[in-house]
Amino acid sequence: MVDSYGAIADSLNHARARFDLEPLALSTVRAEVGHGLERLIGRWVGTERIDDGVRLFRERYAQVFPDKTVALPGVDAAILALARAGYRLALASNKPARFSSAILRQLGWLELFCAVEGPDTVGTAKPDPLMLGACRSALGTSAEQTRYVGDMPLDAVSGKRAGIEVILVAGGSAGEAELRSAGPPVLAGFSSLPGFLSDLGWPACDPDRA
């Protein structure tokens, strides 16, 4: 839904600079995002520096993410369309929920979401299914009434482990060919989601509950 790669690259390079490491290109960072901060820091700052690296990253990220996170094209209209159609929305991200909530608030979307979950709220990161289970509990839906929308092959694994069907959207860190190899249907962009769900006969929930 958002492009936060600039904030992530800035924060990672801030941590690397404290250990006299050269800055990484945005394209390099973009390809590494989504598997959890500890893994990112371990790979690019050093496994022996994970605790300090995470601290430095989060200190910097808290300063820069408001100005370096933007909605992807068409996402605002699509989210509003989903809400008007009666869909119940929840967010599961490997970003800490406090940052995700702040981003949703900044973009004017927070009140449209029933829950915002992250590793800090459930104790583990995707692809562990616990985060998606917490979202589904907040939504009050069965697995059959739920669809999980992601932009990485990791999301396909997460949905499978949670027993939830997945829809993948191009435009994130993974290329379209990589997404298609993961198995679930792939949309060209988030703006295609309302029409895709409508073609499936959704929403599958009671609009009065949205």
Question: What phi and psi, each to the nearest 5 degrees, are found at residue 204?
Answer: -95, 5
Burial class (CB in 10 A: 0-12, 13-18, 19+), 21: middle
pLDDT in tens, 25-77: 999 998 888 778 899 999 999 999 999 999 999 999 999 999 999 998 899 99
Answer for the pair 155, 126: CB distance below 8 angstroms, yes or no: yes
Reduced 3-state DSSP string for the chain: CEECHHHHHHHHHHHHHHCCCCCCCHHHHHCCCCCCHHHHHHHHCCHHHHHHHHHHHHHHHHHHCCCCCEECCCHHHHHHHHHHCCCCEEEECCCCHHHHHHHHHHHCCHHHEEEEECHHHHCCCCCCCHHHHHHHHHHCCCHHHCEEEECCHHHHHHHHHHCCEEEEECCCCCCHHHHHHCCCCEECCHHHHHHHHHHCCCCCCCHHHC
Please name each of the domains of the chain with its CATH number: 2-64 (1.10.150), 72-209 (3.40.50.1000)
Q: What pLDDT does 36 receive?
A: 82
* Residue ranges, the chain, pLDDT below 70: 203-210
User: Can you give the pTM of this predicted structure?
Assistant: 0.85
Sign, CA dihedral 165-170-173-179, equals positive
pLDDT for residue 210: 36
Distance (Å, whole) CA 159 – CA 169: 14
